[in-house]
Chain A
């Protein structure tokens, strides 16, 4: 029943917390660190609303024990914008009306960011399969997919030297 002392890096900042026995990384983010942008939709890795990037890999934070975060690097939705400047994906989600209730949105954005880091030019099909673990019940995915592909195009353009 002992608690584990955990030191990790969240969105570039060092954090420390005591993990409750059995607590997940999602619990630690939401309850101990006050980062409630990651959502719990299922607690079983089936909805993707809790998506974070752990040491460069997209994962469901509900399926990671908080204690496992020791020494790890974690990126959440709260670290996606650069201060007041939105990430291109965030901007495109707004422009394309790619959110309705907005509950799945943080997870979708984190997952989409992970996609564009490994594949800057995804096809529609690649985008749909990559995001298949992020359930959205409001949008039918149409505008979500358009927003991700549009953001990818803009980001590719930005990388081309003028």
Chain B
């Protein structure tokens, strides 16, 4: 389907794409009418709640639910015994693979509780009070086991083992002994030792990041109804209704056709809603109770049992010639996976050197299980962590060489035709343009005061494509409906409507985009990997193009001219063929009104597996001021340049940049999981898990560099993830320049800064 657009249009040709219309779901969201996960209700609905392990690591000796079942109003109690004991089976997800057995065991512990907050039983009752009483009445006998949370401690040979049958994958010789190291992965090129021999300057550092949570404001919520005929319905807030369907089917041993999942409005995900926690439990409870069950997590549960991303140790050694040319890099990444394998260390490894053209390198990653919640994807999973180490080390290198930090990055920048450290050859990238944009920005030359410093850092994210379905239906009056299967987390419905409107020649207010349930649209991978505007947008565009082709055919038949004698211009079929109808035009509304005579309803659907997502690059500048007496860091100014391909809706592209930067600043300054000596999370709430508040941040200047992606009809690249990659190091580098001390451990909280200053 390439008869309308076979390559990105120039911006001047576009009427809708690149403008800033009000989003189609906006009015509902500013008036409180939008229905999020917890807002949905059904008649006869029960309240479902979860009993969670108070221990970081314990054998479950027994669970006695008899007293709980006897409580008036309690309709169902489930434990792992109510779920099939699955075999190991790896499923490919949006940007990472998941083992279904691990997902099932994370939803409900079977033999061992592996972290504080791990679900061990669930109940459904007619009231919240009865459900609470049932939870209290469930008797669980635990045998406490030694626990391990810190990543390097978990890697020790004598560390407490989480899984007796976990053997390190990826080693040269298969291990004889079980280990918490689930896997080792490695990327290498050239001769690293020779590269360091060539170097005039070498920097080495060990960097540490804390586990941090995605911090979406909407807690997980679902309503599940198991029908007497075995047909199930689920309403839930997630990043993918098809993901929910697949995972529920697997965890419960059902056919996908038995489960219909309707996506609620989603109150933020950032990767954290790319798996299931509640839905299979709600279904199991509903089956037992014979009534719909609603489950909504508390904030405490969100922190203790969902997300986060890995705490990590990053060891970096870089070598460069006196002119700044990198000669070698050796990087070791150790990432917490939480209770089950699957940290984002692989993308961490692949992105670590993605911005640099370096001949000799070795990057080794370790995926390590720990007695903490199983990590979930978080915005550019793994990349901010490795970038914190590499970009801090690059700053040290710049200082050691006496070079400007942007110039050092320009010297080693990847460009079109360079083979990326992770394999493919870059094409149509706009990385150098982002470096030039910050270098030439007034921010970079602005004067700094006492105790102030300016940091620079860069970042990379792959962006993905993948499987999507879209349908476009023309209504009887010539307006249109766009149907997709991707939950809209940050305004993607607007982008879908805009792309369809652009192709159809409608104004965007004539196009109503909806996100459909799993029975109403074809399969679509979840919203993640910055794929929706790219991949689902491609499906929408192609469906609209199919509509246009159909409309041209219909007009040609009315005019009795060949199809190639009809053009689609500004929302009308125009006859260019010689004859008496030459110059005639039929609007979309006219064609729609007469559709019964030209072949019936006007509708098209496209399913595709989108390839050719353009990678994203970003270059950030951060100014800080450090109070030398209290150690408090103030972010004074922030500028973020990013290659966005083409901004479909520039305001929401800026919004993605703002949001990613803010999360990165939180990660840098204050966010962290704090565990007590028994491995219980001490700060499972927004009081002491400190996400940035409005007064913590300045305005964030977003610079959109538009280097179009030729593999997308409008040139789009994913934009949502790369903005969180540079800020950790941008902030740390600014602090280094302000106080003269390299801070190597996040978060850069006041006690750490003050201690560093005292030791200066």
Contacts and interface: CB of A to CB of B under 8 A. Distances in A.
A140 B558 CA distance: 54
Interface stretch (B23-31, B539-547, B573-581): B23-31
Contact of B30 (A40, A94, A101, A146): A94
B217 A90 contact: no
Contacts of B31: 37, 77-78, 80-81, 86, 90
B694 A36 contact: no
Interface string A18-62: 001100000000100001111111111011010000000000000
A101 B32 contact: no
A36 B30 CA distance: 13
B136 interface: no
Contact of A139 (B34, B655, B691): B655
Contacts of B659: 100, 137-140
B218 interface: yes
A39 B265 CA distance: 13
Interface string B658-690: 111111000000000000000000000111000
A144 interface: yes
B344 interface: no
B26 A47 contact: no
Secondary structure of the A side of the interface?
loop
A12 to B, nearest CB: 16
Interface stretch (B9-17, B513-521, B559-567, B695-703): B695-703
A97 B695 contact: no
A90 B29 CA distance: 9
B167 interface: no
Contact of B651 (A96, A101, A104, A124): A96
B20 interface: yes
Given A97-B652, A101-B489, A44 B217 contact: no
B266 A101 contact: yes
B693 interface: yes
Contact of A97 (B20, B32, B267, B296): B20
Interface stretch (B35-43, B350-358, B752-760): B35-43
A160 to B, nearest CB: 26
Contact of B219 (A20, A41, A81, A124): A41
B599 to A, nearest CB: 38
A139 B658 contact: yes
Interface size on B, as a range, is: 35 or more
A127 B38 CA distance: 29
Contacts of A63: none
A91 B687 CA distance: 31
Residue with the highest number of chain A CB atoms closer than 10 Å, among B27, B29, B215, B219: B29
B270 interface: yes
A97 B662 contact: no
B549 to A, nearest CB: 33
A77 B270 CA distance: 26
A35 B219 contact: no
Contact of A134 (B652, B655, B687, B694): B694
Contact of B697 (A42, A99, A138, A140): A140
A104 B699 CA distance: 19
Given A132-B693, A138-B490, A142-B699, A78 B267 contact: no
A47 B217 contact: yes
A37 B31 CA distance: 7
A100 B655 contact: yes
Given A37-B33, A38-B32, A101 B694 contact: no
Contact of A140 (B214, B215, B298, B658): B658
A103 interface: yes
B299 interface: yes
A133 B695 CA distance: 10
A106 B32 contact: yes
A135 interface: yes
A43 B302 CA distance: 12
A32 B694 CA distance: 32
A90 B30 contact: yes
Contacts of A134: 694
B491 interface: yes
Contacts of A143: 651, 654-655, 658
A71 interface: no
Given A41-B217, A140-B658, A141-B658, 11 more contacts: A40-B296, A41-B686, A78-B32, A95-B22, A102-B34, A103-B268, A106-B30, A138-B655, A139-B659, A140-B662, A140-B692
Q: Which 9 A-B pairs have the closest CB atoms?
A: A37-B32, A103-B267, A102-B29, A140-B662, A140-B658, A97-B651, A46-B686, A77-B32, A90-B30
13 contacts: A20-B129, A93-B26, A93-B30, A94-B30, A100-B655, A102-B25, A103-B216, A105-B30, A109-B30, A132-B695, A138-B490, A140-B659, A140-B661
